[in-house]
Amino acid sequence: MSAPSPPRVWAEIDGCAVRRNLEVGRSMAGRADIMAVVKADAYGHGLEAVAEMLRHSGVSFFGVANVGEARRLRAAGVQTRVFLLGATWSGEREEVVANGWIPCISSVDEAIAYDTTARHQGRMLDVHLAVDTGMGRGGFLPEEIPSVFPVLEKLGNLEFGGICSHLACADTDPAFTERQLGRFREAIGMLGGPERFRWRHVMNSAGLLGYDGSPCNLLRMGLMMYGVSPLPAFQEKLSAAMSLKSRVILVHEPPPDGGRPGRTDAPRRRLALVGAGYGDGYPARAGGNGGEVWIKGKRFPISGRIAIDHLTVDVTTGPLITEGDEVELFGEHVPVAEVAGNAGTIPWEILTGIAPWVERVYR
C-alpha cells in the first residue's frame, strides 16, 4: 500500500480571470472584434481549456501558431474561425484549405499555391494579406503592394478578406511602433482604404494598451488575456489567470556556515524547502535577484540557488511555516512579470515554459 502523495507543483488556472481580462480588452478596443491568441498551448494555460472558457464570449477568431494547434481546435469541436499567425509548410496547404483555416499571405508564390489548391478542392479560401511594416518576419513591403496586389486579387479562388501586420516591440519602443502603425495605415490607404478589407488587424496586447488602433477593427489579444500587461501601467486592470503553486516539503534550521567550527554564534536561519524548481519551468535565474514567493499571506525571499526540483525559502521571520504549507511561486500575489524581470526575461517566456507535466487545475 502506498499513501497518496499531494501534488508537489501545479498551476491553478482561473477561467473567470481570462474572461474578465478579455472584457477589459474589449472595453478598451472600442468597436473592434477580438482574436483570442491561443498559440503555445494558450500561453501554457491549455489550448482546449481556454477555447472552452471562451466558447460563449463572442471572440471572432482564434489565433494559432501552426496547423498542429488548428487541428487541436478542430478536434475540440471549436466552431470559431481559426487564423494561422505564422507561415505554414507547403505540405500543409491542402489541409488548411480543406478546413477553411485562414492563412496570412506573404508572397506571390504562396498565394498562387493556395489558389491552385483551393481550385482543385472546388473551394474559395479566405486569406489575409500580410504587410511587413518593420517586424521583418514575413509579409509584403508597403512599397511593393501597389504592383503586387492587383496580381493577387485576380486569383479566382482566394478572397482577401483581411489585411494584417505585426508589431515588433510595442512594449518597449513607442517611436518604432508609431512608424509601423503609420506604414500599416499607408498600406491600407494605397489599397483603397479601410472599406476594402472586412478585417484589419495589427494590434497585439501592448498595441491595444498603448496606441491608437484606427483603422483596425480586429485586435489580437494574447498576453493581457492571461492577465499580464506588457505595459506595467495597466497591470492593475488585469487578473492573473495562472498561479504556479507548490508546497513546503521540509523546514529545517541548518547550522550556520554548514556547521564548520567557530561560527556557532551566528543566528540560525529557518529554511523551507519547496517542491518546485527550474525543471518545472520556474526560472533558475529568478533566485539570486531578489526573487520572492508567497506563503500564508506573506512574501518570503528565495535563498540560494534554485535546483531542478527544489527551491529554498528563508522563513526565519514572519508567520510560522511548516511542512505542507501552500506556496505561490507566481500568480495573484507575485506577478509573473516580476519573476520574469528577476530572471532577466519576459513574462511570455515564463508562462509558455511551465513544464507540460505540471498539472493544470482549472477553477
Ligand X SMILES: *Cc1c(COP(=O)(O)O)cnc(C)c1O
Tell me how far, at minimum, the Cβ of 76 lies from ligand X, in Å: 20
Q: Which residues from 74-93 bind ligand X, rule CB under 6 A?
A: 85
Cα-based distances in Å from 44 to 51, 164, 219? 13, 25, 21
In whole angstroms, what is the distance from residue 125 CA to residue 134 CA?
27
Tell me the backbone φ, ψ of residue 40, rounded to 5 degrees. Answer: 50, 50
Nearer to ligand X, 42 or 302 (CB): 42
Asked if 349 and 340 touch (Cβ cutoff 8 Å), the reply is yes
Instruction: Return the beta strands (E) in the chain as ranges.
Output: 9-13, 33-37, 61-64, 81-84, 102-105, 125-130, 158-164, 199-201, 218-221, 242-252, 271-274, 292-295, 298-301, 311-314, 326-330, 359-362
Residue 223 touching ligand X (CB under 6 A) = yes
Asked if 12 and 241 touch (Cβ cutoff 8 Å), the reply is no
Nearer to ligand X, 63 or 277 (CB): 63
* x/- letters, 132..171, toward ligand X (CB under 6 A): ----------------------------------x-----
Residue 180 touching ligand X (CB under 6 A) = no
* x/- letters, 35..54, toward ligand X (CB under 6 A): --x-x---------------
Nearer to ligand X, 39 or 93 (CB): 39
Number of C-beta neighbours around residue 215 at 10 A: 15
In whole angstroms, what is the distance from residue 18 CA to residue 24 CA?
10
Nearer to ligand X, 78 or 206 (CB): 206
Closest residue to ligand X, based on beta-carbon distance: 222
Q: 125 forms bridges with which residues in the sheet?
A: 158
Nearest CA-CA partner of 180 in 192, 193, 194, 169: 169
Number of C-beta neighbours around residue 134 at 10 A: 23
The DSSP 8-state label assigned to residue 140 in this structure reads B
Tell me how far, at minimum, the Cβ of 37 lies from ligand X, in Å: 4
Tell me how far, at minimum, the Cβ of 333 lies from ligand X, in Å: 23
Determine the interface stretch with ligand X among 45-53, 218-226, 291-299, 353-361 (rule: CB under 6 A): 218-226
Q: Which residues from 191-210 bind ligand X, rule CB under 6 A?
A: 204-206
* Residue 175, C-alpha cell as written in the block: 517611436
Nearer to ligand X, 39 or 247 (CB): 39
Per-position DSSP letters for 98-139, written without gaps between them? HHT-EEEE-SHHHHHHHHHHHHHTT--EEEEEEB-SS--SSS
Tell me how far, at minimum, the Cβ of 128 lies from ligand X, in Å: 11
Selected binder of ligand X within 183, 220, 247, 310 (CB under 6 A): 220
Determine the interface stretch with ligand X among 91-99, 177-185, 214-222, 277-285 (rule: CB under 6 A): 214-222
Cα-based distances in Å from 188 to 31, 49, 272? 19, 36, 58
In whole angstroms, what is the distance from residue 317 CA to residue 272 CA?
12
Asked if 250 and 273 touch (Cβ cutoff 8 Å), the reply is yes
* Residue 347, C-alpha cell as written in the block: 513574462
Nearer to ligand X, 46 or 222 (CB): 222
Determine the interface stretch with ligand X among 115-123, 220-228, 255-263, 298-306 (rule: CB under 6 A): 220-228
Determine the interface stretch with ligand X among 115-123, 176-184, 215-223, 351-359 (rule: CB under 6 A): 215-223
Selected binder of ligand X within 221, 240, 295, 313 (CB under 6 A): 221
Nearer to ligand X, 85 or 306 (CB): 85
Nearer to ligand X, 210 or 215 (CB): 210
Tell me how far, at minimum, the Cβ of 220 lies from ligand X, in Å: 4
In whole angstroms, what is the distance from residue 335 CA to residue 347 CA?
9
Tell me how far, at minimum, the Cβ of 65 lies from ligand X, in Å: 7
Residue 303 touching ligand X (CB under 6 A) = no
Nearer to ligand X, 49 or 249 (CB): 49
Instruction: State the residues that interact with ligand X by CB under 6 A.
Output: 37, 39, 85, 166, 204-206, 220-223, 230
